């Protein structure tokens, strides 16, 4: 069974400044979890080989500096490759990776792909804004790193049919969503991912590698409940409520 795992920041509180602590894991947690995943091949690499995804993949959203300083050395140590989705407007800013760091990671086998230009919800955008964000991010990464950008992960998991249509037109081959679940068809344009949060343990990660495990079914049900809340409340009201419950961050 194939599963895709979504990380954000990695490290202790001092390492994850500027990130959402709800989605951060410490180095010990991260190491235990990736050892349960065992194998990871970037989605862009798999798609370039035969146009489908059939192997587990570790992914990171947002481009936080801890991805380079903490997660990258651990991945290299355990001979695992990951895919990093970055917001190109933030590259080199405080708490974010630089182009030099991204290039070093790419040279070590990591894949650098798109999270949009800014970290904004695509489902709230007009079609012209969607096109601008997707094309600007793609162009910036390709020009700075000399790599082909074919995968997009929407910030906050927010996307709709317009995003799918425009992404295809611009040459993207896949959208890595925030919808939990194992990959049923590796040729689908939209693929599910399991979001790792600060309370996720390595046993849950191991169970997410199995489609009908209790943890997989539980995560899918939880996502469905929150999806209803997002639709009913709208993104802004949902984030306002989430902020009161969790303190900060983006869901």
pLDDT at 79: 97
Q: Is 104 exposed, middle or buried (0-12, 13-18, 19+ CB in 10 A)?
A: middle
* pLDDT tens digits, one per residue of 192-243: 999 999 999 999 999 999 999 999 999 999 898 877 655 555 555 545 554 5
pLDDT at 226: 72
pLDDT at 233: 55
Dihedral in degrees, nearest 10, Cα atoms 189, 213, 27, 96: 20
**For strand 111-114 and strand 82-86, is the pairing parallel, antiparallel, or unpaired?**
parallel
Residues of the chain with pLDDT under 70: 228-251
pLDDT at 224: 85
pLDDT at 38: 87
pLDDT at 249: 38
pLDDT at 231: 59
Q: Report helix, strand or coil for 148.
A: coil
pLDDT at 225: 81
Q: pTM for this structure?
A: 0.91
**Which domains are delineated in the chain?**
4-215 (3.20.20.370)
* pLDDT tens digits, one per residue of 67-80: 999 999 999 999 99
pLDDT at 47: 98
């Amino acid at each position: 069974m194939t599963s895709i795992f979504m990380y954000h920041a990695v490290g202790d509180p001092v390492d994850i400044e500027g990130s959402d602590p709800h989605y951060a894991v410490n180095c010990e947690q991260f190491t235990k979890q990736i050892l349960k995943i065992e194998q990871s091949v970037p989605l862009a690499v798999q798609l370039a080989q035969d146009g489908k995804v059939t192997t587990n993949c570790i992914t990171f959203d947002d481009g936080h500096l801890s991805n380079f300083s903490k997660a990258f050395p651990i991945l290299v140590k355990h001979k695992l490759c990951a895919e990093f989705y970055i917001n190109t407007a933030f590259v080199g800013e405080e708490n974010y990776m630089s182009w030099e760091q991204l290039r070093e990671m790419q040279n070590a086998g990591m894949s650098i792909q798109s999270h949009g230009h800014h970290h904004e919800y695509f489902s709230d955008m007009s079609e012209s804004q969607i096109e601008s964000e997707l094309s600007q991010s793609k162009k910036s990464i390709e020009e700075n790193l000399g790599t082909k950008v074919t995968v997009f992960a929407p910030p906050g998991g927010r996307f709709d049919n317009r995003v799918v249509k425009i992404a295809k037109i611009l040459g993207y081959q896949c959208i890595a969503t925030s919808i939990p679940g194992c990959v049923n068809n590796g040729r689908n344009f939209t693929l599910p991912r399991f979001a790792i949060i600060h309370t996720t343990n390595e046993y849950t990660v191991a169970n997410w590698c199995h489609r009908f495990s209790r943890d997989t079914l539980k995560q899918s049900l939880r996502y469905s409940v929150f999806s209803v809340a997002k639709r009913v409340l709208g993104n802004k009201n949902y984030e306002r409520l989430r902020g009161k419950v969790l303190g900060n961050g983006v869901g």
